[in-house]
Amino acid sequence: MKPASMNLTLHVWRQANAAAPGRMERYDAPNVSEDMSFLEMLDVVNEQLISDGKEPIAFEHDCREGICGSCGFMVNGVAHGPQKGTTICQLHMRHFKDGEELFLEPWRATAFPVLKDLVVDRAAFDRIIAAGGYVSVRTGSAPDGNAISVPKEAADIAMDAAACIGCGACVAACPNAAAALFTGAKISHLGTLPQGQAERSRRALRMVEQLSLEQFGSCTNIGECVAACPKQIPLEMIARMNRDHLKAAWTSRGEHRSGGE
């Protein structure tokens, strides 16, 4: 059976570079197959733009199977589009109706400046990770497997938190443009594992400090992030971050700034 096809109208944010002003532009997307992914639909629109001698729509992508965290933009005001628990690269066109109008916009946050069209600079996330989202281990010879036993509950929570792919949808969906879910996921991931204990309080202090330096907003526990998250990271991760940070802030003796534990 031939897959059904549809005609769509796109309104896409076009911005030549970080310094240029941008605006919404209208495009027709005719004969879209319901079996296409959203990004494949944009590929086809771009083919047409290129053959018309126009600049194609820039968007980020890599794995196209929901694991790398590269892709993501707003579709009608919803990060990664209307389907829950999926990235935009995993979203199929069968979730849309013939004749629909779609508004595509980049993540909007001071901490995520637009580089071009739908592509934003998420280096702020990298700097948050660099501030403390790691465990220090001796490299070289491989450690024995299972030398450190991990309780099942801790492993479960850590795995849930580790599912975060750093896509930035939580920031985009948050009315405050806060990055609490992302940072909470990273802090909870390492903070629940035995290997993460040595640097636990330093990690919380440094990552939260970096969070405010990056000009993300402040979390008001609204919950839009969880609804947008393709990995359905729970709100509990933000509470875990607050718990670790509060505890560290009460007990820290100030070493977290100097680099030593």
Binding interface with other proteins (CB under 8 A): 11, 13, 24, 74, 76-78, 103, 105, 108-111, 173, 175-178, 212, 215-218, 220-224, 226-228, 234-236, 238-247
Which listed range, 55-63, 126-134, 159-167, 242-250, lies at the site for ligand SF4 (CB under 6 A)?
A: 159-167
Is residue 261 close enough to count as binding ligand FES by CB under 6 A? no
DSSP string, 144-185: PTTSS---HHHHHHHHHHHT-----HHHHH-TT-B-HHHHHH
The helix/strand/coil state of 252 is coil
Residue with Cβ nearer other proteins (30 or 77): 77
Which listed range, 64-72, 198-206, 231-239, 240-248, lies at the site for ligand FES (CB under 6 A)?
A: 64-72
Instruction: Restricting to residues 73-102, name those near ligand SF4 by CB under 6 A.
Output: none
Residue found by looking up tokens 């990298």 in the block = 126
Distance of CA 1 to the CA centre of its chain: 37
Q: What is the rounded distance in angstroms from the CA atom of residue 170 to the CA atom of residue 187? A: 16
**Residue whose C-alpha is closest to residue 197's, from 128, 136, 258:** 136
Is residue 174 close enough to count as binding ligand SF4 by CB under 6 A? no
For 149, other C-beta atoms within 10 Å of its C-beta total 9
CB 11, min distance to ligand FES, A: 22
Residues that bind ligand SF4 (CB under 6 A): 164-170, 181-182, 185, 228-231, 233
